[in-house]
A and B are shown apart, each in its own frame.
Chain A
């Protein structure tokens, strides 16, 4: 994750800022330029609810080099209470406790490091409620 991209994605990764179509109310996360529902280009910025439920998950046991030493870890698709679905790591979890439909909450965590001297990159992860 290079610095400009990380900086550009801060509103979404830190604050869950989404785009709500002012014409039809469709919420897009991350925000879009054109509404996929009604093709409108008028959006307002809204912050998503940080609670939801786990739709599905998997356990990553062989990861890319950047995540070496952190395996195994869980990744899931979460549906937030306002209907938006997102993919995220599930932190602090005993894998035996994971069940589809469980309530989760998004918390602020470090996602990855850019090597030993690069940026710490932060964002959201889910934890079981």
Chain B
């Protein structure tokens, strides 16, 4: 049995409300909240980035896994906001949490699905017998250009998963990936903000890839949507995952536990992975979880998890996602937000 032996997530404390962003650009906040089903988003502190978020999530994952970090043979971090263009984020992480130096690390990038890429490779290496444990992380401090629709959703957070084959809390039963050249969203070298193709990001990109990966996963597993207790899909806004779920045959109730976007925003590579941690925080032994990520460019990774009776031993060993989401918030106005996100040119 190979699957998740420890998991952890991390969200910054800072938030900005849709009203504060809309006010800056003369937009109607009610229309945006209605259209995106989004009310506020997380904002990284000035001293937070993909590396610090990954370290905190990894520490929580280790608290739950209760393993010797030295036994972890690989660490992969998926993000589209790695602090360095050249220097893998996980080089810092392994020294911070006491992994290695006998360890394989890499930075992954695939828009919003880099986190599930990291999870998939970590899982595959353990399944192949190459190592006892491997860690896959999805984390981002995502960028949205001032005034762009993405500015309302691009947020910060991440989740870490330790894969192994002893004391598994959620077994991975099936996986499936679906990928094509679909230019819905990109960021060129040296550009600060990504570009996107507006409504083209919906039907031919997000929905096509999630639905096809989801259908293939159901066919491969010979399962039906009603078999699952929970489902989570990539959450670029509140509406898309609900629509994708409906197209595949899932109900709103099945999405509820992992549907954290309205108060978190889109954490990009951390989106569906943080949703998965919110589900694992409340899951019961025997629950089946259906998960499909989406990364622009474009592709989707699908997973089917079966929760084991070990889950109850680890849920309270570290802070839960909903606790970070609902408590200890510090709200910023747009001026503070612009400063925190480096949107102001300084004369230094």
Contact = CB atoms under 8 A, between A and B. Distances in A.
Interface string A27-70: 00000000000000000000000000000000000000100111
B83 A120 contact: yes
Contacts of A122: 51-52, 92, 96
Given A65-B348, A107-B56, A120-B51, A92 B96 contact: no
Contact of A110 (B13, B14, B52, B84): B52
B130 to A, nearest CB: 27
B56 A120 contact: no
A107 B59 CA distance: 10
Nearest to A13: B96
A91 B92 contact: no
B46 interface: yes
B310 interface: no
B48 A109 contact: yes
B81 to A, nearest CB: 12
A68 B45 CA distance: 15
Given A110-B49, A120-B84, A10 B95 contact: yes
A41 B293 CA distance: 55
B98 interface: yes
B47 A111 contact: yes
Interface string B179-194: 0000000000000000
B95 A109 contact: no
A96 interface: no
Nearest to A94: B330
Which residue of B47, B55, B84, B98 has the most chain A CB atoms within 10 A of its CB atom?
B47
Contacts of B52: 107-110, 122
A110 B95 contact: no
B339 interface: yes
14 contacts: A15-B95, A65-B348, A69-B339, A70-B47, A92-B330, A94-B330, A107-B56, A108-B96, A109-B48, A109-B52, A110-B47, A120-B84, A122-B92, A122-B96
Interface of A: 10, 14-15, 65, 68-70, 89, 91-92, 94, 107-111, 120, 122, 125
Interface of B: 12-14, 45-49, 51-52, 55-56, 59, 83-84, 92, 95-96, 98, 330, 339, 346, 348
